[in-house]
Amino acid sequence: MNKDRIIRLCQGALNVEKFYGKNFSNMYEFLQESQWWSEEKLKEYQLEKLKNIIVYAYENVPYYKNLFDEHKIDAYNINRFEDIKKIPYLTKEIIKENIDDLYNINYPKYKIEYKTTGGSTGTPMGLYQDRFYTRQVEQAFVSDMWSRVGYDKNRKQKIVYLRGIRIKNQLERNFNNLILNSFLLTEKNYLEYLEAIKKFKPDFINGYPSILYIFSKYIVENNIEINIPDLKAILLTSENVYDFQREVIEKAFKVRTYSFYGHTERACIGGECEKSTNYHITPQYGYTELINEKGEDSKIDGEYVEIVCTGFINPVMPFIRYKTQDIAINSTEKCSCGRNYKIIKKIEGRTQDFVFDNENNMKSFTCQDEPLWSIKEKIVAYQYIQEKPGEILLNIQPKFKLTCDEISNVELDFKNTFNGFNLKINLVDEIKKNHNGKFRYLKQKIKNQVFK
């Protein structure tokens, strides 16, 4: 039995608090209390953490020592949030070029683990984190957010996982966890997967929106009734989630979908609340700036922003003013849930989730499913590919034969929805998942200069 399987067995056998230990428990209790703090008290906490991480980085991380000295930045004199604007952005390119100078060289080696991001923009980016503390504290933040839809850290919650967990077989039962192999999921075995879920009687289903959408679409189209009395929510993870996906998944499973935003870099996290699907950025996790196209902090409701963040939970490799390339829609509203958290209305996607018209204008691709509505009952999956501005290839995997008129209608509906593009349609036998077991609706191959 390999190490990963042993870890999964332990996770399934223990409740989350026993598995992750004291660091988890302390942070979880702190979050349950501090989520109701006043805005002023949260800002005081954030500023203190920000000052500490900047001094820590200057004293322990060669890259920041050199950067601050070069730009004459006094790490010991950061007294306002505005003061960090002096610090240049940290980009993915800088990280790739300076990885060996970006971590605490004095940190105990046995505590350090090397991780990579998904690499959806090309080559995966490497980073270092604490293999114990960062994982334990990260799970406290996730559990705190999930508690808003009924997750109980004190109980052994039964969870089905349908995401990119690599296992040998179609399914793997680990006490209170059931892992379904997303890489092997096809229309031929949908019913087998569904029967496994119903038999397991989970409290939650945790998975990629793209996979759960395809699965749920099959359930809805075939009028399959699902009755899982203990199921409380579908916990979506690791991908941007679209409204059309939520609608189908919730219709299939008859419970709420819940999504949160986070990334491998561990610098920003935020989730929905009990009362809305807006993302509440968790201030105890890091300091987040919402930067508009002018390079300024956004103060306008509904404005497109890039998420720039400074993390508090990775002492091995601090990320300070990290440009995520994730685009969101700012909100200036206060949520009725009572938390004084910064809010974004929606994650529009990574910069590679946008398209570029024939004049090289960046356009949101949120409505990419609309041109396919007329044939949605006749297709299994679809994928757009863009390699040049103004030109898009649409691959369609049909379930039933499509007529020339139906294909022409898709072309027409696309042109009515998106101006400034030439569309070419290909019918394919299969649209493959990527290396993480996800479906990507858009493969953006143009290296853009958004929010530079």
pTM > 0.85 = no
Q: Which amino acid is at 145?
A: M
| Inter-axis angle of helices 62-70 and 39-60, nearest 10 | 100
Average pLDDT in the chain = 90
Give the pLDDT confidence score for residue 220 in this predicted structure: 94
Q: For residue 111, what are its two tokens? A: 């505590």
Are the CB atoms for 385 and 393 separated by under 8 Å?
A: yes
pLDDT tens for residues 233-256? 999 988 888 888 899 999 999 999
Q: Which amino acid is at 141?
A: F
Give me the mean pLDDT over the 42-58 stretch: 98
CATH of domain 3-351: 3.40.50.12780
H/E segment holding residue 135: helix 133-146
pLDDT tens for residues 153-205? 988 899 999 987 878 888 898 889 999 988 788 888 899 999 999 999 999 99
Give me the mean pLDDT over the 372-392 stretch: 90
Ordered DSSP codes for 51-111 = HHHHHHHHHH-HHHHHHHHHTT--TT---SGGGGGGSPPB-HHHHHHHGGGSS-TTS-GGG
Architecture of domain 357-444: 2-Layer Sandwich (3.30)
Same-fold call for 3-351 versus 357-444: no
Q: Give residue limits of the domains in the chain.
A: 3-351, 357-444
pLDDT tens for residues 110-146? 999 998 876 443 446 889 999 999 999 999 999 999 9
Residues 6 or more apart whose CB falls under 8 angstroms from that of 220 comprise: 248, 251, 252
Give the C-alpha separation, 80 to 76, whole Å: 12
Given a cut of 50, whether residue 76 has pLDDT beyond it is yes
Give me the mean pLDDT over the 304-330 stretch: 95
Ordered DSSP codes for 238-277 = SS---HHHHHHHHHHHSSEEEEEE--TT-S--EE--SS-S
281 falls in which pLDDT band (50, 70, 90)? very high
Are the CB atoms for 51 and 73 separated by under 8 Å?
A: no
Give the C-alpha separation, 357 to 392, whole Å: 9
Give the C-alpha separation, 302 to 233, whole Å: 28
3-state secondary structure of 148: helix
Give the pLDDT confidence score for residue 433 in this predicted structure: 72
Of all residues in the chain, the percent with pLDDT exceeding 70 is 93
The distance from CA 268 to its chain's CA centroid, rounded to whole angstroms, is 10
The contacts found for 91-94 with CB under 8 angstroms, 24 or more apart, are 91/322, 91/323, 92/121, 92/125, 92/323, 92/325
Are the CB atoms for 401 and 377 separated by under 8 Å?
A: no
